[in-house]
Amino acid sequence: MEDRKVNPEEGSYTAYLFEKGVDKIAKKTGEEAVELVIAAKGGDKSEIVGECADLFYHTLVLLANAGVRLSDVCTELKNRH
């Protein structure tokens, strides 16, 4: 993700998100979270998987945009129990 931020590829959706900035990235992340909740309520496993993948992707973009590493989040989770 960081490489796409530093070396954007023309036509890349990830590069587009970085170019648009935190407002666009946060909006998409929120939309995907809502879509995951709706999918979970519907109970279709493949839809849940797809929406979760979308949420994870947009969350990773959000983290990279903020300069936060996934390992930082993992460390925080380990410290919580």
Each residue of 36-70: pLDDT tens digit? 999 999 999 999 999 999 999 999 999 999 999 99
Each residue of 12-22: pLDDT tens digit? 999 999 999 99
pLDDT band at 4 (very low <50, low <70, confident <90, very high): confident
- How much is the pLDDT for 80? 95
Alpha-carbon distances of 58 from 6, 50, 78, rounded to whole Å: 17, 13, 22
Whether 55 contacts 29, CB under 8 Å: yes
Q: Residue 25 belongs to a domain with what CATH number?
A: 1.10.287.1080
DSSP-derived letter for residue 32 is H
d(CA 41, CA 33) in angstroms, rounded, equals 13
The total number of structural domains in the chain stands at: 1
Q: Containing domain of residue 69, as a range?
A: 2-79
The whole-model pTM stands at 0.91
- How much is the pLDDT for 8? 87
User: Counting Cβ atoms within 10 Å, is residue 60 exposed (0-12), middle (13-18) or buried (19+)?
Assistant: middle
